[in-house]
Amino acid sequence: MTVASQVKQCVASLKNVEASLNSFAIDTKDEQASEIFRESCQITRQVITDLEKRVGELEFQEPQYKGF
Protein backbone atom coordinates (compact mmCIF):
# COMPACT_ATOMS: atom_id res chain seq x y z
CA MET A 1 0.00 0.00 0.00
CA THR A 2 1.28 3.45 -0.82
CA VAL A 3 1.60 6.19 1.71
CA ALA A 4 -1.10 8.17 0.00
CA SER A 5 -3.62 5.37 0.27
CA GLN A 6 -2.75 4.83 3.92
CA VAL A 7 -3.33 8.49 4.67
CA LYS A 8 -6.56 8.37 2.71
CA GLN A 9 -7.71 5.43 4.75
CA CYS A 10 -6.92 7.35 7.90
CA VAL A 11 -8.92 10.32 6.60
CA ALA A 12 -11.85 8.01 5.91
CA SER A 13 -11.68 6.61 9.44
CA LEU A 14 -11.49 10.11 10.86
CA LYS A 15 -14.56 11.09 8.88
CA ASN A 16 -16.32 8.13 10.42
CA VAL A 17 -15.21 9.31 13.86
CA GLU A 18 -16.42 12.82 13.13
CA ALA A 19 -19.83 11.59 12.05
CA SER A 20 -20.20 9.34 15.08
CA LEU A 21 -19.13 12.11 17.45
CA ASN A 22 -21.61 14.41 15.80
CA SER A 23 -24.47 11.96 16.17
CA PHE A 24 -23.56 11.39 19.82
CA ALA A 25 -23.49 15.15 20.35
CA ILE A 26 -27.06 15.28 19.05
CA ASP A 27 -28.33 12.14 20.79
CA THR A 28 -26.82 12.76 24.22
CA LYS A 29 -29.24 14.33 26.65
CA ASP A 30 -26.66 15.48 29.18
CA GLU A 31 -25.52 18.94 28.11
CA GLN A 32 -22.00 18.67 29.45
CA ALA A 33 -21.38 15.37 27.70
CA SER A 34 -22.98 16.71 24.56
CA GLU A 35 -20.64 19.72 24.66
CA ILE A 36 -17.59 17.46 24.97
CA PHE A 37 -18.73 15.47 21.95
CA ARG A 38 -19.24 18.66 19.98
CA GLU A 39 -15.78 20.00 20.81
CA SER A 40 -14.20 16.67 19.94
CA CYS A 41 -16.09 16.69 16.69
CA GLN A 42 -14.71 20.12 15.82
CA ILE A 43 -11.14 19.12 16.61
CA THR A 44 -11.53 16.04 14.46
CA ARG A 45 -12.82 18.16 11.62
CA GLN A 46 -9.73 20.39 11.77
CA VAL A 47 -7.50 17.33 11.68
CA ILE A 48 -9.40 16.04 8.65
CA THR A 49 -8.99 19.35 6.80
CA ASP A 50 -5.23 19.38 7.34
CA LEU A 51 -4.84 15.73 6.43
CA GLU A 52 -6.78 16.26 3.22
CA LYS A 53 -4.31 18.97 2.31
CA ARG A 54 -1.54 16.48 2.87
CA VAL A 55 -3.37 13.96 0.69
CA GLY A 56 -3.38 16.58 -2.05
CA GLU A 57 0.39 17.02 -1.72
CA LEU A 58 0.96 13.29 -1.78
CA GLU A 59 -1.18 12.92 -4.89
CA PHE A 60 0.87 15.62 -6.51
CA GLN A 61 4.03 13.66 -5.74
CA GLU A 62 2.64 10.27 -6.75
CA PRO A 63 0.15 11.11 -9.48
CA GLN A 64 -0.08 7.48 -10.58
CA TYR A 65 -2.01 6.64 -7.38
CA LYS A 66 -4.49 9.45 -7.70
CA GLY A 67 -8.01 8.76 -6.53
CA PHE A 68 -9.23 6.09 -4.18
Partner 1 sequence: MQGWLEVVLRSVVAIIILLFLSRTFIRKSMAQVTYFEFVSGIVIGAILAIGSIHLQVPIAYPIMGLIVWSVIPYALGWLSIKSETIRSFVQGKGVPVIKDGKILEDNLKKERYSSDELLKQLRAKNAFQVADVEFAVLETSGDLSVLMKKEAQPVTPKDMKLKVAPIKEPETVIMDGKIMDEPLATAGKNRRWLEMELEKIGAAIENVYLGQVDSYGQLTVDLFDDKLKVPSPQEKPLLYATIKKCQADLELFALSTNNPQAKQMYTQKAAKMKEVMNKVEHLLQ
Binding site for partner 1 (CB under 8 A): 3, 6-7, 9-10, 13-14, 16-17, 20-21, 23-24, 26-30, 32-33, 36-37, 39-40, 43-44, 46-47, 50-51, 54, 57
Cα-only R_g, the chain: 15
- Which residue from 50, 53, 63, 65 is spatially nearest to 2, judged by alpha carbons? 65
Minimum distance from CB of 68 to partner 1 (Å)?
A: 17
As measured in angstroms, the least distance from the Cβ of 67 to partner 1 is 20
Quick one: CA dihedral 59, 18, 37, 22, positive or negative? Answer: positive
